Amino acid sequence: MNRPFVFINSAMSADGKISSRDRRQIRISGKEDLMRVDELRAASDAIMVGVGTVLADDPGLRVKSRILREKRKDMGQLKEPFRIVADSNARTPANAKILGPGCMIAVSYSAPEERLDRLRSGCEIIKCGTEMVDLPGLMEELYNRGVRRLMVEGGARLNWSLIELGLVDEIYIYIGGLIIGGERAPSLVDGPGFRNSFPRLSLQSVQRLDEGLLLQWELH
């Protein structure tokens, strides 16, 4: 199967949480880390999140720095990275910031048509999977549309599915100097969890950034 190179970028607290017990977005990254995230976006063909992240954070997912946008153009990439939501039941709100030219919402065939109609003017709809988005199928579709480097910005359940399916090549984890706590607060990877065999990572780099640490891991 052809698929893009896939990497996850996430910020977590010192205790491994990516947001609070009520799924509220917490500023974990400092300025330097946010600039690094913008650089990773600018170097990607597409950026993907799960709909849980859209509902909790309403991210825009655009390249923020004008200099980076211009650098992309100089390198022949005329468009900004695609913005993609994995959204099995089409729950993305019609006023979500992610919508607009370059946005694709991946839904399953069971997504209600009336919800799709509300979204159609703001994005392209890709249907794959019966109940949930078929992620391997989506990867192939994105590859066919020219996506070679896909950045995933969470959340916890999408990270789980992609890792469980063996679709992730690299993970950047920024560990910030705070503790969030809470059994129910999302962690870097949620879902049911692995039982017997656990994906192994090899450490590629370690860097001190702001008041925290950036780790770059490769998956085997």
Ligand X SMILES: Nc1nc(=O)c(N)c(NC[C@H](O)[C@H](O)[C@H](O)COP(=O)(O)O)[nH]1
List residues near ligand X by CB under 6 A.
11, 25-29, 37, 53, 57, 59-62, 153-154
Q: How far is the CB of 54 from ligand X (least distance, A)?
A: 8
Interacting partner of 46 out of ligand X, ligand NAD, none (Cβ under 5 to 8 A depending on kind):
none
Annotate the chain with three-state secondary structure: CCCCEEEEEEEECCCCECCCCCCCCCCCCCHHHHHHHHHHHHCCCEEEEEHHHHHHHCCCCCCCCHHHHHHHHHCCCCCCCEEEEECCCCCCCCCCCCCCCCEEEEECCCCCHHHHHHHHHHCEEEECCCCCCCHHHHHHHHHHCCCCEEEECCCHHHHHHHHHCCCCCEEEEEECCCCCCCCCCCECCCCCCCCCCCCCEEEEEEEEECCEEEEEEEEC
**Of residues 111, 123, 135, 189, which one binds ligand NAD by CB under 6 A?**
135
Does 186 bind ligand NAD (CB under 6 A)? Our answer is: yes
Does 190 bind ligand NAD (CB under 6 A)? Our answer is: yes
Does 11 bind ligand NAD (CB under 6 A)? Our answer is: yes
Q: How far is the CB of 71 from ligand NAD (least distance, A)?
A: 24
**Of residues 153, 163, 168, 187, which one binds ligand NAD by CB under 6 A?**
153
Q: How far is the CB of 205 from ligand X (least distance, A)?
A: 17
Interacting partner of 138 out of ligand X, ligand NAD, none (Cβ under 5 to 8 A depending on kind):
none
Q: What SS3 class is residue 86?
A: strand
Does 99 bind ligand NAD (CB under 6 A)? Our answer is: no
Positions touching ligand NAD (CB under 6 A) are: 10-11, 18-19, 23, 25, 28, 49-53, 56-57, 86-88, 132-133, 135, 153-158, 161, 186, 190
